[in-house]
């Protein structure tokens, strides 16, 4: 993975001296975090060393359970919301599922239409369910699991319990339910929050069921971890990214748009949005994260980016190898696109990306991050890069990157109404 900063656009807003001065100011914070000496958040840093929950022994055990599901099932339902399903969904929806397994998602909505549609699609399939929750009091997964329990009981009777895999915190109510009902139990580590859980059973098990090569995913993360933790220079790519984000925020750039020209990054972008929104958005601080799927949204949001309020900066996540080729041959119809004859579609997409950077860079700061291709290894790199960068960035803002107190406010009002005696 390469990270390249577009100096011709960034330097209209930030000089190299500005960036270096900021890095000097926060050098001690960076070094403390990089060396693993930050004592403030030890109860939230289980993800910091990838192999803590994704070593070979853990991967082998996860694969054994996943193989059982893959051998007997052709439908797999992930029940989770937010960090409990975002990383797995990002990879599965991008790379696809193998071996005839269809993956469904529940626990992330309260829509009767959506949930009953899932149940209808499961009717004639061999179904397994993975319920993922660190705190099982969350309404969406609780309701979805109740609906799916009824479905499984009606379909499989006393055998239904063997088709449920629960990923929860040891000692939790969810574990107690799992033990009572005979479900398979996997650990949701206590010292990892949902949005940082890609390299634990939370993210890895669903990916394994879908046929993702989880060892390559972990290898990518390990290599990125080594790169970031060993590099103590100002050119450390995460240190530089986090520093530029914070400096731009000080200049009033309060929105960061993650723009991408590869639609397979759609659900990765949702993971990225949650990561930065929950980690930084507190105490009246934070950069609002948004995402744009290009080139489609050049014809909508692109207008605001180009000519709207100067309140944002843009980070491009570009994939160099799209994984497919198509040559635009001449079909002898005068359609006005003759200049594209014998051009590769991937080249056209790259030209659109470069032109967009050039145009947007005339108006706002642009950062470019590039990956060679979308595969397990590079997703591992991307997950770790952004998690580490977010840890740094939130720390520079002087907020706790690992809690989410604001999420609880709406729940208090909702449960007050739901628990009223009818």
Indicate if 411 belongs to the active site. yes
Q: For residue 369, is it within any domain?
A: yes
Q: Are residues 194 and 287 located together in one domain of the fold?
A: no
State mean pLDDT over 7-36. Answer: 92
Confidence of residue 179 (pLDDT cuts 50, 70, 90): very high
Residue 47 has pLDDT above 70, yes or no: yes
Task: Provide, rounded to the nearest whole percent, the portion of the chain with pLDDT above 90.
Answer: 89
Integer Cα distance of 156 and 246 in angstroms: 54
Residue 6 has pLDDT above 70, yes or no: no
Q: Are residues 206 and 243 located together in one domain of the fold?
A: no
Q: For residue 133, is it within any domain?
A: yes
Give me the sign of the Cα torsion angle 291, 395, 26, 233.
negative
Residue 7 has pLDDT above 70, yes or no: no
- Give residue-wise pLDDT tens across range 282-340: 999 999 999 999 999 999 999 999 999 999 999 999 999 999 999 999 988 999 999 99
Q: Are residues 197 and 263 located together in one domain of the fold?
A: no
pTM: 0.96
What is the DSSP pairing of strand 127-133 with strand 75-79? Answer: parallel
Q: Are residues 329 and 373 located together in one domain of the fold?
A: yes
- Give residue-wise pLDDT tens across range 334-382: 999 999 999 999 999 999 999 999 999 999 999 999 999 999 999 999 9
Q: Which of the two residues, 135 and 179, has the higher pLDDT score? A: 179
> How many structural domains does the chain have?
2
Q: Are residues 90 and 22 located together in one domain of the fold?
A: no
Which residues, in sequence order, are CB contacts of 81 under 8 Å at separation 6+? Answer: 107, 108, 138, 140, 141
Residue 5 has pLDDT above 60, yes or no: no
pLDDT the model gives residue 12:
83
Torsion (CA) 259, 265, 270, 273 in degrees, nearest 10: -40
pLDDT the model gives residue 98:
87
Residue 3 has pLDDT above 90, yes or no: no
Q: Are residues 145 and 21 located together in one domain of the fold?
A: no
Integer Cα distance of 218 and 235 in angstroms: 24
- Give residue-wise pLDDT tens across range 383-419: 999 999 999 999 999 999 999 988 778 888 888 888 8
| Cα 359 from chain centre | 28
Integer Cα distance of 156 and 75 in angstroms: 14
- Give residue-wise pLDDT tens across range 410-420: 888 888 888 87
Q: Are residues 33 and 54 located together in one domain of the fold?
A: no
The last residue of a domain, from among 162, 183, 212: 212
pLDDT the model gives residue 408:
76
- Give residue-wise pLDDT tens across range 186-233: 999 999 999 999 999 999 999 999 999 999 999 999 999 999 999 999
Q: For residue 34, is it within any domain?
A: yes
Indicate if 299 belongs to the active site. yes
Q: Are residues 239 and 114 located together in one domain of the fold?
A: no
Q: For residue 312, is it within any domain?
A: yes
Q: Are residues 28 and 124 located together in one domain of the fold?
A: no
State mean pLDDT over 15-39. Answer: 97
Q: Are residues 246 and 339 located together in one domain of the fold?
A: yes
Residue 257 has pLDDT above 70, yes or no: yes
Confidence of residue 4 (pLDDT cuts 50, 70, 90): low
Domain of residue 81 covers 50-212
pLDDT the model gives residue 388:
98
Catalytic residue among 28, 230, 299, 408: 299
State mean pLDDT over 124-146. Answer: 94
Q: Are residues 242 and 206 located together in one domain of the fold?
A: no
Integer Cα distance of 241 and 222 in angstroms: 20
Q: For residue 417, is it within any domain?
A: no
- Give residue-wise pLDDT tens across range 266-280: 999 999 999 999 999
Catalytic residue among 140, 278, 280, 314: 278
Mean pLDDT of the chain: 94
Q: Are residues 241 and 112 located together in one domain of the fold?
A: no
Helix axes 139-156, 407-418, angle to 10 degrees: 60
- Give residue-wise pLDDT tens across range 89-123: 999 999 999 889 999 999 999 999 999 999 999 99
CATH number of the domain within which 82 lies: 3.40.50.10490
Nearest CA to 259 among 350, 384, 356? 356
Which residues, in sequence order, are CB contacts of 106 under 8 Å at separation 6+? Answer: 77, 78, 79, 115, 118, 141, 144, 147, 148
Nearest CA to 389 among 257, 309, 275? 275
Residue 1 has pLDDT above 70, yes or no: no
Which residues, in sequence order, are CB contacts of 331 under 8 Å at separation 6+? Answer: none
């Amino acid at each position: 993975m390469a990270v390249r900063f577009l100096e011709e656009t960034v330097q209209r807003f930030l000089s190299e001296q500005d960036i270096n001065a900021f890095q000097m100011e926060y050098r001690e914070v960076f070094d403390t975090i990089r060396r693993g000496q930050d004592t403030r958040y030890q109860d939230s840093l289980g993800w910091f060393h990838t192999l803590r929950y994704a070593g070979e022994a853990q991967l082998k055990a996860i694969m054994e359970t996943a193989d059982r599901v893959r051998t007997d099932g052709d439908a797999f339902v992930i029940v989770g919301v937010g960090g409990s399903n975002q990383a797995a969904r990002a990879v599965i929806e991008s790379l696809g599922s193998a071996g005839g397994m269809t993956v469904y998602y529940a626990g992330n909505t309260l829509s009767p239409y959506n949930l009953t549609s899932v149940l209808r699609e499961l009717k004639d399939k061999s179904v397994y369910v993975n319920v993922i929750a660190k705190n099982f009091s969350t309404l969406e997964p609780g309701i979805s699991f109740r609906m799916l329990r009824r479905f499984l009981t009606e379909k499989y009777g006393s055998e239904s319990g063997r088709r449920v895999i629960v990923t929860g915190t040891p000692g939790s109510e969810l574990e107690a339910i799992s033990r009572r009902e005979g479900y398979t139990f996997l650990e949701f580590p206590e010292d990892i929050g949902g949005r940082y859980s890609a390299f634990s059973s939370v993210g890895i098990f669903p990916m394994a069921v879908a046929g993702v090569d989880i060892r390559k995913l972990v290898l990518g993360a390990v290599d990125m971890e080594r790169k970031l933790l060993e590099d103590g220079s100002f050119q450390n790519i995460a240190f530089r990214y986090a520093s530029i984000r914070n400096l731009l925020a000080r200049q009033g750039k309060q929105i960061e748009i993650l723009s991408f020209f590869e639609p397979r990054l759609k659900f990765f972008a949702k993971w990225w949005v949650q990561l930065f929104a929950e980690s930084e958005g507190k105490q009246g601080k934070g950069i609002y994260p948004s995402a744009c799927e290009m080139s489609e949204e050049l014809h909508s949001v692109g207008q605001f980016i180009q000519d709207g309020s100067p309140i944002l900066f843009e980070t491009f996540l570009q994939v160099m190898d799209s994984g497919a080729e198509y040559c635009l041959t001449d079909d002898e119809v005068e359609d006005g696109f003759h200049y594209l004859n014998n051009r590769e579609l991937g080249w056209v997409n790259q030209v659109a990306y470069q032109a967009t950077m050039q145009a947007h860079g005339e108006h706002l700061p642009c950062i470019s991050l590039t990956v060679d291709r979308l595969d397990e290894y590079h997703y591992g790199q991307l997950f770790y890069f952004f998690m580490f960068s977010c840890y740094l960035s939130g720390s520079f803002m002087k907020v706790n990157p690992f809690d989410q107190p604001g999420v609880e406010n709406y729940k208090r009002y909702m449960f007050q109404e739901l628990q009223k005696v009818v």
